[in-house]
Structure 1
């Protein structure tokens, strides 16, 4: 991969979406934000609102919270927790977009 990928991490009210859109427009490259959620929803079968919520909340820092997290079985989510499974799918979607060319991802 030899593309420039701009990623913007943001907090609510920071203007990250606006900055991302402006940068993509100025550079003439694609901009991805909500599109990412839709692509992940298609890949996982999870509801878009669930994916958005998971993206907003930090995982539990407690080892007990992680230990008791719901897990899939070998045929479902490859035995991973829902959070881990979602992370892997998000990663794959982002890598696919990055392979296509330069872009801005919020």
Structure 2
């Protein structure tokens, strides 16, 4: 695998995409990024008063089948400033991690953020 190859994995809820990304990263001997991106983005936004548990709880309270989980639904028209700021911060972190070297990035709209990046491969996992 080339030094700067980035694989993004998007998935349907409950299809085993996280497990697939973990196996892929392990087999390719590269880093896997997922929830870490939320923590880094929160730090960039200056949200320092949230503990690790608070961030995990916040992330787990977003219901995946609601429109609030879809960051590009009505993007720029109805998205609140805090949601928009968090997305922009996460996108910045995704680009930085992708430029730092080969990795697998799970979710976080990384496929969209990195769509124009050379050596980027996007996988979508779905299941019944």
Provide the TM-score with structure 1 as the length reference.
0.70
Q: Which residue of 1 aligns with 2:104?
A: 104
Give the number of equivalent residue pairs: 92
Kindly report which structure 2 residues correspond to 1:75-86, keeping only aligned pairs within 5 A, or say none.
81-86=81-86
Kindly report which structure 2 residues correspond to 1:52-71, keeping only aligned pairs within 5 A, or say none.
56=64, 57-59=69-71, 61=73, 66=78, 70=80
Q: Which residue of 1 aligns with 2:36?
A: 35
Kindly report which structure 2 residues correspond to 1:1-40, keeping only aligned pairs within 5 A, or say none.
3-40=4-41
Q: Distance in 1 between matches of 2:63 and 2:82?
A: 12
* Structure 2: gaps spanning 5 or more residues: 107-128
Query: By how many angstroms is 1:11 displaced?
Result: 2.3
Q: Which residue of 2 aligns with 1:77?
A: none
Provide the TM-score with structure 2 as the length reference.
0.59
Structure with the largest fraction of helix: 1
Structure with the largest fraction of strand: 2
Query: By how many angstroms is 1:102 displaced?
Result: 0.5
Q: Higher relative contact order at CA 8 Å, sep ≥6: structure 1 or structure 2?
A: 2
Residues 4 and 103 in structure 1, CA contact (< 8 A), matched pair in contact too: yes
Please give the secondary structure, in 2, of the residue aligned with 1:84. Answer: helix
Residues 44 and 89 in structure 2, CA contact (< 8 A), matched pair in contact too: yes
